[in-house]
A and B are shown apart, each in its own frame.
Chain A
Amino acid sequence: MIRIEDVHKEYKVDGGKDVNALNGVDLEIGKNEFVCVVGPSGCGKTTLLNIVAGLEPYDSGKVTMHGEDIIGPGPERGVIFQQYALFPWMTVRKNIEYGMKFLRKKTPLAERYSREEKSRMADHYIDMVNLTGFEDSFPKALSGGMKQRVAIARGYAQNPEVLLMDEPFGALDAQTRAQLQEDLLQTWEKEKKTVLFITHDVEEAVLLATRVVIMSARPGQIKEIVDISLPYPRNQATKLDPIFIEHRNYIWDTVYRMYLEIRK
């Protein structure tokens, strides 16, 4: 569904030499796959996500979705940011409805959804992320975990074919993160989507993903792709499964070795 072919990208850094953020990255993501990308910081994993989102240009290569070039952001590719990116002047409900603002029905006439339809859909997604009762709160009144839930509900309400998640749980405490991982798994099992998920947390990657992509830094390249052969549904207890532990140890070891190499 999404094809990334030989993508190169360099950053110009003030006063320093150019950083080779991505150096010949190839990746194919199939429908309803949950792909997690892990790697040491500076390996260009966020750059990769931004390129697929259409938020950043790249120097050479090809990025396509259903065979069509990605030339900019679009509602068929929803993005969940680490910093939530909720509009602070909108209530929870308004934020979620804004995700649907430019959405068109998949009919020949393709008109936009009516106010009532949007409101009904917003209710559905607010309920899905367990935020019933907070519809009229402003983001400032919510905890980090709740904010990210709103962002996830908004991402789902946008009804994209692909969800691009950039370390969405990176800023949360361990318990909230565990909770949101389970919620995301449940949501994803209920309403399947193609997901590209960036994280530096190896456990998180193995718990969520159908495939884990390991990237190396400087230059940013794909080092290895690991199929996670654990069945769904998964939850925090899955972390005790020997297969989980084996995957986790292997990936963790690979990432840590690369980290040590960069430090040298």
Chain B
Amino acid sequence: MAAANGGDAKPKKPRKLKDFSDGGKGTRLALNSASIIVGILLWFLITLIPTINTFLASPKQVYAALLSESAANGRFFKDISISLQRVLIGFGLAFVCSIPVAFLMGWYPKVRSVVEPWIQFFRTIPPIALIPLVILAMGLGEAPKYTIIFVAAFLVMVVTIYQGIKEVDRTLIKAAYTFGATDKDLFRDIMIPAAFPFILVGARLGMAASLTTLIAAELTGTTFGLGARIQGAQQFMDTSIVLLGIITIGIIGFLLDKILLLIEKRLTRWK
């Protein structure tokens, strides 16, 4: 009987097809943590090699730097708070300004035609390239930092939110009209809620852009802030502080994104 297909052939298992799912939650978290632990371990191992340790501090050294920097006369928290302040002010201004501009562009084709070339043009320029001009115009205070972050976040958010407004389902617009909605009703009842998810996506992209731009902006012409600290430590070849700064920036970015993601989940449960 079994000989029919050449001896004791094992029953064939159905082939597993890629479904691009996230996998089980437990496995995912276990692999996430294992990956981080192994990464830190590898980092520790390679810094045991003296030549590498001269330009790459070990986890232990970074931890020591964290302790000394956050001690009473350390400047760690001051750097963090000033960087955060810059990000939040620049981002906040950009958020408040980008929404009306994006809606005006989405609503009035003429506004779109006037504004769009400028946005497309400035979008291709890294905001960092504007630093010399901004410093010449505004000096070395806080204003130039806010301005650079504002430009970076504003452009990203305007483009994202405007794209969202443009893609509002035409059938929903038609439906609203057939209920007797005026243009004003349409704007308030349909356009704003329909664009809402894009506002939140725009905010996340804008926040990421703010953070990257800020650090770059702080690399020149300032004494406080995480970017400035990294730059300062480099001159003393203190790579433990450089790494501490980098990791802190990464964690801040991660947390800010998580907060926005949480808000997004909360507010767009209907999606």
Q: Which residues on the B side are within 8 Å of A102 (C-beta)?
A: 179-181, 185
A163 to B253, CA, bound (A): 53
Interface segment among B147-155, B167-175, B200-208: the answer is B167-175
Distance in Å: Cβ of A113 to nearest Cβ of chain B: 13
User: Is A75 at the interface (CB under 8 A from chain B)?
Assistant: yes
> A83 touching B171 by the CB < 8 A rule?
yes
Q: Which residues on the A side are within 8 Å of B169 (C-beta)?
A: 85
Q: Which residues on the A side are within 8 Å of B193 (C-beta)?
A: 87, 89
Residue-by-residue, is B180-200 near A (CB-CB < 8 Å gives 1, otherwise 0)? 110001000110011010000
Distance in Å: Cβ of B47 to nearest Cβ of chain A: 50
A interface size (C-beta, 8 A): 26
Q: Which residues on the A side are within 8 Å of B194 (C-beta)?
A: 89
Q: Which residues on the B side are within 8 Å of A83 (C-beta)?
A: 171
Q: Which residues on the A side are within 8 Å of B185 (C-beta)?
A: 101-102
User: Is B55 at the interface (CB under 8 A from chain A)?
Assistant: no
A62 to B179, CA, bound (A): 23
Q: Which residues on the A side are within 8 Å of B179 (C-beta)?
A: 75, 98-99, 101-102, 158
A88 to B171, CA, bound (A): 12
User: Is B122 at the interface (CB under 8 A from chain A)?
Assistant: no
> A81 touching B175 by the CB < 8 A rule?
yes
Residue in A73, A101, A140 whose beta carbon sits within 8 Å of that of B177 in the complex: A73
Q: Which residues on the B side are within 8 Å of A126 (C-beta)?
A: none
CB-contacts of B219-266 with A (<8 A): none
Residue in B172, B177, B269 whose beta carbon sits within 8 Å of that of A87 in the complex: B172
Q: Which residues on the A side are within 8 Å of B270 (C-beta)?
A: 88-90, 138-140
User: Is B271 at the interface (CB under 8 A from chain A)?
Assistant: yes
Distance in Å: Cβ of B134 to nearest Cβ of chain A: 40
A89 to B189, CA, bound (A): 10
User: Is A196 at the interface (CB under 8 A from chain B)?
Assistant: no
Q: Which residues on the B side are within 8 Å of A72 (C-beta)?
A: 177
Dominant secondary structure of chain A at its interface with chain B: loop
User: Is A78 at the interface (CB under 8 A from chain B)?
Assistant: yes
Distance in Å: Cβ of B76 to nearest Cβ of chain A: 43
User: Is B73 at the interface (CB under 8 A from chain A)?
Assistant: no
**Residue of B whose beta carbon sits closest to that of A101:** B179
User: Is B51 at the interface (CB under 8 A from chain A)?
Assistant: no
User: Is B178 at the interface (CB under 8 A from chain A)?
Assistant: yes
**Residue of A whose beta carbon sits closest to that of B182:** A102
> A98 touching B177 by the CB < 8 A rule?
no
Distance in Å: Cβ of A148 to nearest Cβ of chain B: 13
A53 to B194, CA, bound (A): 23
> B196 touching A85 by the CB < 8 A rule?
no
> B180 touching A75 by the CB < 8 A rule?
yes
A101 to B179, CA, bound (A): 8
Of listed B171, B175, B185, B189, residue having the most chain A CB within 10 A? B175
Given contacts A75-B179, A102-B181, A103-B180, 15 further A-B contacts (CB under 8 A): A54-B178, A55-B174, A73-B174, A73-B177, A75-B178, A79-B174, A85-B172, A85-B174, A85-B175, A87-B172, A87-B190, A89-B194, A98-B189, A101-B185, A102-B179
Q: Can you list 27 A-B pairs, Cβ within 8 angstroms, ordered by A? A: A54-B178, A55-B174, A55-B177, A73-B177, A73-B180, A74-B178, A75-B178, A79-B174, A79-B178, A81-B171, A83-B171, A85-B171, A85-B172, A87-B172, A87-B190, A87-B193, A89-B193, A89-B270, A98-B189, A99-B179, A101-B180, A101-B181, A101-B185, A103-B180, A139-B270, A140-B270, A140-B271
> Residues of A with Cβ closer than 8 Å to B?
53-55, 72-75, 77-79, 81, 83, 85, 87-90, 98-99, 101-103, 138-140, 158
List 8 tightest A-B contacts by C-beta distance, closest first.
A102-B180, A75-B180, A85-B175, A73-B177, A85-B171, A138-B270, A79-B178, A73-B178
